[in-house]
Structure 1
Amino acid sequence: MDSTPRGAAVTAAGFGVKGPRGWAFRDLDVTAEPGALIAAQGPSGSGRTCLVLALTGRMKSAAGTAEVGGAALPKHMAAVRSFTALAHVPGVAELDPALTVGEHLRERALLHGRFGASLRTLLKPRRERRARARALVDGALTASGLDPAALPKGVRTAVRDLERLEALRLSVALALIGGPRLLAVDDTDLKLSDDERAAAWALLRSLARAGTTVLAVCGEPPADTAGVVLVRTGRAAPDADAPGDGGHDEEGAADALAEAGRA
């Protein structure tokens, strides 16, 4: 993994995503420098996941403007997808509970080697490519704070046997293998104890300090919000009382996610 990743700046103004039955979120503004930690706060159903998918080029926006890493959305969604990564997004980027930690890591390294590597890398001898893949995995594990040796069965530990924080670290490690400029993490604090939540935010802060821009969905922002770009989803728009045209609609968010899953 690149030891000096280039984070992606994120800007959005009046940004919104709409489903067939209403807005998932609307009139949202974001300004974040490269290497920032962005905390997207809101209750379940407030469009948090839709925001993550829209800002990583995986869901088309319906209002406002946005730019990620110099690429405008929704015009350059493919370009944004190429340098962003998702961690733990239910229904989109999930761990397979039946697979082991080692199987997940090998699969992701293989996919990156085939589809994410440059032509120069692909033309190198197999031994060099394998060594590079191992280095990428080791770097991602170190950055995520996941030590396979500390797991009950090492890399043979099944995902279903991981603690919630360990699973989050694995999801982050898998996303980091591709060296993204923007890492988006959904449900960051879901089902975590206070100590685990603090550890999760410490992890995300460390990634941001190392240069990767981090967008983290949460129910509650970190206790220490110094330096954190705080974005709240589910805010009401001026015409929020109009049926199907408010600033936030749980049905709209659900519809938008369903459409993304079918795309």
Structure 2
Amino acid sequence: MTHAAVPEAPEPEPVLRAESLGLRTRRGWVFRDLTLAVPAGGVAALCGAAGSGRSMALLALSGRATTSAGTLDVAGAVAPAVIRTRVAVARIGGAVELEPDLRMADHISERRLLGATGPIDGPADALGVTLRPGAVVGDLGGLDALLFAVALAAMDRAAVIVVDDVDLGLDDRDRDLAWQALHRLSEHGVAVVAAAAEAPRTGAVVRYLQGSESWAS
């Protein structure tokens, strides 16, 4: 008796697709040749040392920085104004950061004032964040502050969340916990693109940046 071969499941369509993306200023390339495809429920890591263009790459992928080369499609959108509605920013160093003097409750209220319509309890639970409304953000530990920022971004109900400096100030244990938390969140259908100095020890798609060139792992 012969058995018919079971066809392999097709690769999921990417919700974010960047092809040869690059950003150049008068001083030269900030990053270039960034090609990336992330499906809904996927996690991607942009890795490189300080000055490698990680933060600007996240701004570009979120439609918040004008690129000089390549193409970007997010959930069928190619216009930056529309892409911005489909990519939520959790944290990007120097551009989008939590206000350390505000309480958790203040940040949640502010996110709602900016148009967020989703709940925070579900994302916080997936990420392992304990919501303490009266807690001052500046008093949170590095891991808690990072994951709280991601939970806030998840309130936007966007197709993609971007977050910078995932491993900043964290020891090896907390770095692993951070990536594990991002994977748990992604299981709810959102794509996550995160930047870090070092590649995670998880199943993320990894792209390395060195300012003038990017390559895959």
TM class by smaller structure: 0.7 to 0.9
Verify: 1:20 aligned to 2:26, yes or no: yes
1:8 and 1:182 in contact (8 A); partners too: no
**Structure number with larger C-alpha Rg:** 1
Question: Does residue 89 in structure 1 map to residue 92 in structure 2?
Answer: yes
The separation in 1 between residues aligned to 2:110 and 2:19, in whole angstroms, is 38
Identity across matched positions, percent = 36
Partner of residue 111 from structure 2, selected from 108, 111, 114? 108
Unaligned 5+ segments in structure 2 are: 1-12
Residue aligning to 1:183: 161
Root-mean-square deviation over aligned CA pairs: 1.9
Q: Kindly provide the CA deviation profile for residues 4-46 of structure 1, in whole angstroms up to 9, marking residues without a partner as x.
A: xxx9622222210112211101122112222211110111111
Partner Cα distance (2:212, 2:60) in 1: 19
Residues 157-172 of structure 1 mapped to structure 2, 5 A cutoff:
157-172=135-150
Higher relative contact order (CA 8 A, sep 6+): 1
Q: Paired residues, what number?
A: 202
Counterpart residue number, 2:8? none
CA–CA distance in 2 between the matches of 1:210 and 1:19? 37
Mapped partners of 1:58, 1:160: distance in 2: 26
Aligned AA (2:105): G
- Partner-residue secondary structure (3-state), 1:43: coil
TM superposition shift of 1:54: 0.5
Partner of 1:66: 72
* Structure richer in helix, relative to its length: 1
* Pick aligned residue for 1:233 from 174, 199, 209: 209
* Uncovered stretches (5+) of structure 1, i.e. residues with no partner: 1-6, 118-132, 149-153, 238-246, 248-263
Contact conserved, 1:109 with 1:137, CA < 8 A, in 2?
Answer: no
In the other structure, the counterpart of 2:4 is none
Distance 1:23 1:41, change over 3 A: same
TM-score, normalisation: structure 1: 0.72
Alignment partner of 1:137 is 2:143: no
Partner of 1:216: 194
Write out per-residue CA displacement over residues 61-105 of structure 1, whole angstroms, 9 at most, x where no aligned residue. 101122121122xxx001110111111212221111111111111
Distance in 2 (CA, whole Å) between partners of 1:43 and 1:25 is 12
> Is 1:198 the counterpart of 2:201 in the alignment?
no
Identify if the C-alpha distance between structure 1 residues 156 and 8 changes in structure 2 by more than 3 Å, giving closer, same or farther: farther
TM-score, reference length from structure 2: 0.86
- SS of aligned partner of 1:9: strand
| Contact 1:11 1:32 (8 Å CA) reproduced | yes
Kept in 1: contact 2:53–2:211 (CA 8 A): no
SS of alignment partner, residue 156 of structure 1: coil
Q: Which portions of structure 1, spanning 4 or more consecutive aligned residues, are displaced by more than 4 angstroms?
A: none
Supply the AA of the counterpart residue of 1:187.
D
Is contact 1:13-1:64 (8 Å) kept?
yes
Aligned pair partner of 2:62 in 41, 52, 56? 56
Give how far 1:107 is off.
Answer: 1.7
Q: What SS does structure 1 have at the residue aligned with 2:120? A: helix
